[in-house]
Homo-oligomer: A and B are copies of this chain.
Amino acid sequence: MTTHLRAVAHPFLQAARRMSTGAGMPIRKVTVVGAGTLGSQVAFQTAISGFDVAVLDTQAESLSRCRAAHDAFAQQYLAREGPKQARAWQGLASHSTAKEVAKAALDRLVYTTDAAEAMDGSDLVSENVPEIVEVKAATYNALSAHASPETIFTSNSSTLLPSQFAEATGRPARFCALHFANGIWDANIGEVMAHPGTKPEVFERVVQFAKEIGMVPLRCHKEQSGYIINTLLVPWLNAAQTLVTKGVCTTEDVDRAWVICFGIVNSDKGPLGIMDMIGQGTAHNVLKYWGANLPDAQMAANADYIKKELLDKGKLGLCGGDPDKDKATGYYNYPNPAWKNRDFLNGTE
């Protein structure tokens, strides 16, 4: 399902029955609340990673659809992993077959509309209900009534902030966000965001849990609407839409421009790697110009940051140089910047 090269345990590749005890906070059973598109993915990924999973939804039909989705995910897993395992395990007798792994995952999943049953013995909650403040708050209230004081609560939200629900969980110190991207097997990020009252050990425990279910954990140290990926995505999509809305050019030329310039050649760099390539002097000038002319205070602050933290320290970026050969510094050090390291996407720096 994925085309990324990862050295970390990959989604779908962890299958031993798990009893995870990081930092004295054992996690064996996970409750996934809300059986929609993303909740279903989180539940299956957690189960195939070796955890017991209870899927809780107020609607029985949602649970039926979720169960059907899980059967389909198991088939996809088999189609992909079966042939690989047969090759990898030639001559080894002790491993489970892909078929056994998939069956065990489905066996670890239970589906219920009963909050008490879903929360019984639960060590961690992943909340996946709609992005409506009142619905989320009511959900946390209801769950809290059935939860052990030790249970860690996480929210899979990217537009609402954990501090908005910390009190409703009844355990603010044991609550943070763990946000997944749709298509959890291809886009296997886990954005972990604390609110000011989250205990650091709980935050790190959730980071570890994200790794245990095959996600690349991305630590958000401050609350930020949109977390990381939607903070990047929304203004970019909005700019594309602006070109169309204003009738500047065709939709095809919008997409063509991006793909020609950045879609393939530079696919190994993210935006800050691209910023180094362009050069931090240019990045500064552009942000300063637009910050003053739009006006846009955050853009102006970004220009000031680049001046102070990069330019004034001689970190000018690569400025069109060769990342394999040229000596330069910016957000990355050249030659051989971190983003060229094959482990970069694993988050092991």
Contacts and interface: CB of A to CB of B under 8 A. Distances in A.
A243 interface: yes
Contact of A235 (B236, B345, B349): B236
Interface in A115-132: none
A253 to B, nearest CB: 5
Q: Is the interface of A mostly helix, strand, loop or mixed?
A: helix
A137 interface: no
B260 A187 contact: yes
Interface string A275-311: 1001000010011011000001011011001100000
A339 B263 CA distance: 12
A235 B239 contact: yes
A26 interface: no
Contacts of A218: 249, 253, 256-257
B272 A216 contact: no
Contacts of A246: 222, 224
B267 A237 contact: no
Contacts of A238: 235, 287, 290, 296, 298-299, 302
A236 B243 contact: no
B275 A247 contact: no
A316 to B, nearest CB: 15
Given A220-B248, A246-B224, A255 B234 contact: no
Nearest to A215: B260
A273 interface: yes
Contacts of A254: 228, 232, 270-272
B244 A258 contact: no
A239 B236 contact: yes
Contact of A240 (B243, B270, B299, B320): B270
9 contacts: A3-B265, A189-B256, A228-B243, A231-B239, A238-B302, A240-B270, A241-B283, A259-B267, A267-B267
Interface of A: 2-4, 37, 159, 181-183, 186-189, 191, 216, 218-222, 224, 228-265, 267-275, 278, 283, 286-287, 289-290, 296, 298-299, 301-302, 305-306, 320, 331-332, 338-339, 344-345, 347, 349
